[in-house]
Amino acid sequence: MYKVYRCTLCSSFTYADRFQRWKLCPHCGATIDLLRTRVYLEVDSYSIAEDVISQIEKHLAGKRKKDLSEREVELIENQYRQWLGGSC
């Protein structure tokens, strides 16, 4: 399992294994405390995490927003669960 996070310094999205405690941001090099950082989504593989991050970044750029609303995070979680349910 992998969790999708956002860097607390540069606000870029990244992911980490669910057992990781710290992560270096691949964009700015900041050390991210994963226990104190918001989890946007938990997914099964790193490739899915990369796809989700890409889609989130496209969505935010298209809407000219800085962050997802709570409702948008819920929608992403629900879509992911539906996708998982359909692929089993």
Is the alpha carbon torsion for 48, 38, 82, 78 positive or negative?
A: negative
Domain that holds residue 15: 2-87
Query: Which helix (H) or strand (E) element contains residue 82?
Result: helix 70-87
Residue among 9, 87, 81, 18 at smallest CA distance from 52 = 81
pLDDT in tens, 28-45: 999 999 999 999 999 999
CB count in 10 Å sphere of residue 25: 19
User: Tokens at residue 78, please?
Assistant: 């629900």
pTM higher than 0.95, yes or no? no
| Total domains, the chain | 1
Confidence grade of residue 47 (pLDDT, cut at 50, 70, 90): very high
Is the pLDDT score of 15 beyond 90?
A: yes
Say how many C-beta atoms besides its own lie within 10 A of residue 60's C-beta: 16
